Amino acid sequence: MISPLAYVHPEAQIGKDCEIGPFCYIDKDVVIGERNTLMNSVTLLSGTRMGDDNTVFPGAVIGAIPQDLKFKGEYTTAEIGSRNKIRENVTINRGTAAKGKTVVGSDNLLMEGCHVAHDVIVGNGCIIGNTTKLAGEVVVDDFAILSACVLVHQFCHVGSYVMVGGGSRTAQDIPPFVMAAREPIAYCGLNVVGLRRRQFAPETIEHIHNAYRILYQHGKLLADRLKEIEQNVPMIPEVKYILDFVSSSQRGFIN
């Protein structure tokens, strides 16, 4: 099921039952699993690793060298999990010496024209909207939704179950479970609809909500707010995740 108009390097490793359309280019040192579908004009360059059951649409380029002047040709990879849909003209670059690899997990939808830069880590079950750009070493946790035309600055961390409004840009971390939008980007409340769709229990949503009520109080030091959360909100895993996320933030989090 490899088109005679496709180029597949003899050293590339292709799993069973893959479909490779015309004008695809698969370089040496590419390893892909089973039942992947590469539509026409897909490019997989050296260092690409891919799991099973992915669908890659025309014009996508995976494994290109980083757009980073510090890159000196070191051996790195771009690693894709399973069951992803990678739409037209998506670009996913290899890692650099910083982390050695760019990682996209499983069950993600990367819409048309989005860019995943060097050393980015995208979790599982995420939706990355049309033309959204993730700069180098960004981390996106599981089940995050970034709408169209979102710009995420280098080194930022986006938490799980967030909803980021279209056209937003952030140079700070976005904590888990929230909605973020406006210009400049800001906390817009809890992503209640998303949490309910993911079958979070009402009491869990209430505990998360109470944690954010305290976290976004003005006039108190951050350390005091975190301590107040610890003292007044049940320390369920979701609340602990919020505290750990905020405490470890290197760029600060959105207001």
Torsion-angle region of 225 (φ positive above 0: left; ψ -120 to 50: alpha; else: beta): alpha
Q: Which of 119, 125, 141, 165 is catalytic?
A: 119
Residue 44 per-residue DSSP state = E
| Nearest alpha-carbon partner for 117 in 140, 141, 94 | 94
> What's the token pair of residue 33?
């699993």
Q: Which of 63, 81, 95, 136 is catalytic?
A: 136
157 is catalytic: no
Q: Which of 21, 47, 118, 159 is catalytic?
A: 118
Q: Say if CB 219 and CB 207 are below 8 A apart.
A: no
173 is catalytic: no
How far is the CA of 66 from the CAs of 56, 73, 187, in angstroms?
20, 9, 32
| Nearest alpha-carbon partner for 68 in 109, 108, 115, 127 | 115
118 is catalytic: yes
- The beta-carbon contacts of 117-126 under 8 Å, at least 24 apart in sequence, are 117/66, 117/67, 117/68, 117/93, 117/154, 118/66, 118/67, 118/68, 118/71, 118/76, 118/93, 118/94, 119/66, 119/95, 123/160, 124/81
Catalytic machinery residues: 118-119, 136
